[in-house]
Structure 1
Amino acid sequence: MTPRQRRLGMLLAALACAGIALALVLNAFRSNLVFFFSPSQVAAHEAPASRSFRLGGLVAPGSIRREGDGMTVRFIVTDKAREVPVVYRGLLPDLFREGKGVVARGTLDRSGTFVASEVLAKHDENYMPPEAADALKQAEQVNRRMASQLAEGERETQR
């Protein structure tokens, strides 16, 4: 084997190793990537059915129900336009309350219930994850448009 062939072989081996390392890093990144969805997006079937994702919004008032085992909690996450039922088995954060922001990680079951593996509550009065804040703003805008259209329709029928 000539020195030139040896250098070419080493270069090809180095490129192969770099390619394998890059593939492993990208695969690990893709498997750990978890997207955020609002209840409106989940209702519109934009969320993945077979992968884990984050669901964010507000805990609907009056929706928290604890089951007999003391560890399972059912509640509803809303963005003020749509609601998604959630079931979680485990200890909830101390700041978890009705009407407060929440981000849950998990999957959807066949019935449309979000089965959470992790629940995070907002940590103070001013913080909300940017994705959750954006989703709430969008839902609020939709609600305003619908209310104004409804009011216009009522005015039309009164004439």
Structure 2
Amino acid sequence: MEKTTYLEKMGTILENLAKFQRLENDPSDALKKKINGLIQQANRTTKHFNKAIGDFRPGYCYGTVKTHKPGNPLRPIISQITTPTNHVAKKLNRVLTPYVPTGRSVSSVTEFIDILRTAPPCQDIASLDVESLFTNVPVDETIDIILNRG
């Protein structure tokens, strides 16, 4: 794909104010302080998490080309590697992975949708694929739902 086409398609994606907003300043220090407060709270009952230490930057967005679709649209990828939350996300993945039964994971959204359509209503189904769903999930609302479910 030509660079100008790529930049045009990414610009269209990032203009969607329902999913993205332009940062006026770098929120990394405030986020680092907030995440360290949450880590301190969590470590009162468990010692799973280390404080976020070091310099951080906001995440960044790039697009991968969907070559199998007409017009070759882009799939936006939000990289969190440079953020203060990255190490917590990795740790949560390590903590949660042992609880995901083997043979019970899916490899694609299509497979997950097929399971949703055919599963008996009495079964619990969950998606832990935060990477693919991140741009479409209202994160704060989802966290509130999880915290208030208990």
Q: Structure 1 length as normaliser, TM-score?
A: 0.19
Structure with the greater alpha carbon radius of gyration: 1
Between structures 1 and 2, the one with greater helix share: 2
TM-score normalised over the length of structure 2: 0.20
Structure number with the higher strand fraction is: 1
